[in-house]
Structure 1
C-alpha cells in the first residue's frame, strides 16, 4: 500500500512559489498572443481608441476579410507552404544522410570534418559574401534559394549523429549479411527507427522555414515568390509609415479598418498554422531532445 507523506512547510512554500512563478511565466508568454487576437477581431476604428485588453469591444471580422481580399496574401501563403514542406523534407533527408556517414567509425578524415564543421558553428562568411555566392549560383529570384542554401546544418548533424551511434550495430551487420547496400541500410533500417529525431529536426527546421522573412527580403524581388512572412514585413513597414484608414464594404454597411488592424490580422493569419502543428509533434520533440542525454 502507498502511504502519503505530508509536505513540510518549506516544501509547501517552495511548491507555492514555483506554481506562482510558472503562472506568471505562462501569462507573460501567452497574453501578447491573446492581445493581438482580440484586437484583430475588433472593429478597426474603434480599436484606435484603445482600452481593449481582454475581449473585443466591437466584434468584427472585416480585418480578416481585408487581409484575404489582398491580391498577394494567398500567393505568399502558397509560397510559404511550399518552401516549408519541400525545404523541411530536403533538409531532414540530406542532413540525415551526411550524419549517417559521419556516425560510421571507419570514416576516413572524420575528425577533420568534425573540426571544420564545429568552426562553422561559431564563424560565418557574412551577408555580403553570401549574397555574392547566391548571385553567382543564379539563385536570385529563384524558388530554390529557399531550399539549396539550407539543405545542411551542422548543429542538426550532431543531433542526428548522436542518435545514429546508439542504433545497435547488430542491425547493420545482419543487413549486410543479407546483402544490403549502404543505401538500403540507410533507407530501410536507419530512417524507420529514427522517427523521434527526424520529427525533432523537422520541427526545428519547419518552424524556421515558416518564420523566415529575411531570405525573401534579401534575395527575392519578384513579389510572386515572396513568402507570407516577407509579406507581413511589408505590411508592418507600410502601416508604420502610413496610418490612414481603409474603407471596406461589410455585410452591415460600410465598416472601416485601419492599417494597424490589418497588420494585427495578418500576424494572426501567419502565426496560427504553425501554432496548430506544434502540439502534434511535441511528444517527438521532447523525446528527440533527450537523445544522447541518458545511456543505459
Structure 2
C-alpha cells in the first residue's frame, strides 16, 4: 500500500518540470501587468530614463491625479458603468428568454432557426452595412447603441440552451400542475436554478461591455456619451506630451507627468474594476464552462 503512493523518478521529474513551466507562464502573463502598475506609480519624467522594472523609483500619485482631473474622464467612467450594468442585465435576460424557447423540443421550426443562427456566428455584413443600420435605427449619438445591437448573441444562446436542457423535466411538470404558464416557469423555476450559466454569460458580456471602445469611437461623437475605453483610446492616440498637457491644463501635476505616465495610469484605472469583479464570479464561471461536457 505504501509503495503505491510513492512516485517514480519519472513522475517526480515530470512534476518538477511541469511546475517550473507553469511558473514561467504565470510570470510571463503577470509581469506586464506589474510593469504597468510600477510605472503608473512612478514619476513620469524619471520613468523616461528607463531602468524601472520591479519597484517605483520615485513613487507618486500625480499621474492618477492628472487622470482624474482630465476633462470628461468621470463622465466617461459613469457611462461605462451604466452601459455595463444595463447591458449585462438586458443581454442575459433577453438571451436566456430566447434560449428557453429554443430548448423546448416541440418548438415549431426550431431546426431551421438553429441553422439561421449558426450562419450568423460565422458571417456578418461588415462595418458599412452595420453603420447604415445603426443610422436608420436612429441610434447614432444615442446611449442605446451600446445596448440594443448586442442585446442577443447566438453563441450565448447555445450555452444557455445546453444548460436549460439539463434541468429535470419534473420541475416544469410540477409547475404546470400548479397552474404555472411558460412565463412563470421561466421566471420562477428556470432562472433561479440557472445561476452558474447566468454568471458565466454575465461575466462574458460584462467584460465585453467594459472593454468595448470601438462602438463609442464609430457611432458616438458626443464626448459626454463616450465610455472610458474610448477615452483611453484617445489618450493613447495622443503622440506628444504637449497635447496631453493641454488635457490636464491647470493641474499642478504638469511638472511631473508625461503622456506615457498618463497612458499607464489611465490603463490601470480602466482595467482594475473588471479585474476585481472576476474573483467573485470565478466559481460560477468554472461551473458554466463545464456545460455540455462529457459526464461519466
TM over 0.5: yes
TM-score by length of 1: 0.95
Q: Which residue number corresponds to residue 249 of structure 1?
A: 252
Q: Which residue number corresponds to residue 59 of structure 2?
A: 59
Q: Which residue number corresponds to residue 292 of structure 1?
A: 292
Shift of 1:165: 0.3
- CA distance in structure 2 between the partners assigned to 1:2 and 1:180 by the alignment: 59
Contact 1:62 1:255 in 2 (8 A): no
Q: Which residue number corresponds to residue 80 of structure 1?
A: 80
- CA distance in structure 2 between the partners assigned to 1:151 and 1:9 by the alignment: 55
Q: Which residue number corresponds to residue 226 of structure 2?
A: 226
User: Any idea what SS the aligned residue of 1:132 has?
Assistant: helix
Shift of 1:295: 3.6
Shift of 1:294: 3.4
Structure 2 runs not aligned, ≥5 long: none
TM-score by length of 2: 0.95
Q: Which residue number corresponds to residue 12 of structure 2?
A: 12
- CA distance in structure 2 between the partners assigned to 1:291 and 1:2 by the alignment: 38
Q: Which residue number corresponds to residue 277 of structure 2?
A: 277
User: Any idea what SS the aligned residue of 1:257 has?
Assistant: coil
User: Any idea what SS the aligned residue of 1:191 has?
Assistant: helix
- CA distance in structure 2 between the partners assigned to 1:125 and 1:228 by the alignment: 27
Greater strand proportion: 1
- CA distance in structure 2 between the partners assigned to 1:169 and 1:106 by the alignment: 14
The number of equivalent residue pairs is 291
Decide whether aligned partners of structure 1 residues 217 and 256 sit closer, same or farther in structure 2, where only a CA change above 3 A counts.
Answer: same
- CA distance in structure 2 between the partners assigned to 1:225 and 1:249 by the alignment: 28
Q: Which residue number corresponds to residue 182 of structure 2?
A: 182
Question: Deviations 1:154-185 (Å, cap 9, x if unpaired)?
Answer: 00000000000000111111111111010000
Shift of 1:281: 0.3
Q: Which residue number corresponds to residue 259 of structure 2?
A: 259
Shift of 1:243: 3.1
Structure 1 runs not aligned, ≥5 long: none
Question: Deviations 1:172-204 (Å, cap 9, x if unpaired)?
Answer: 111111110100000000000000000000000
User: Any idea what SS the aligned residue of 2:257 has?
Assistant: strand
- CA distance in structure 1 between the partners assigned to 2:190 and 2:276 by the alignment: 29
Q: Which residue number corresponds to residue 100 of structure 1?
A: 100
Shift of 1:255: 3.9
- CA distance in structure 2 between the partners assigned to 1:232 and 1:107 by the alignment: 46
Structure 1 residues 113-262: aligned runs within 5 Å: 113-238=113-238, 241-244=239-242, 246=245, 248-249=251-252, 255-262=255-262
- CA distance in structure 1 between the partners assigned to 2:266 and 2:193 by the alignment: 39
User: Any idea what SS the aligned residue of 1:121 has?
Assistant: helix
User: Any idea what SS the aligned residue of 2:67 has?
Assistant: helix
Shift of 1:4: 6.5
2:46 is the counterpart of 1:46: yes
Question: Deviations 1:236-279 (Å, cap 9, x if unpaired)?
Answer: 001xx2134748426xxx84210110010000000000000001
Question: Deviations 1:114-150 (Å, cap 9, x if unpaired)?
Answer: 0001111111111100000000000000000000000
- CA distance in structure 2 between the partners assigned to 1:215 and 1:199 by the alignment: 24
User: Any idea what SS the aligned residue of 1:138 has?
Assistant: coil
- CA distance in structure 2 between the partners assigned to 1:194 and 1:256 by the alignment: 51
Question: Deviations 1:38-80 (Å, cap 9, x if unpaired)?
Answer: 0000001000101100000000000000000112110000000
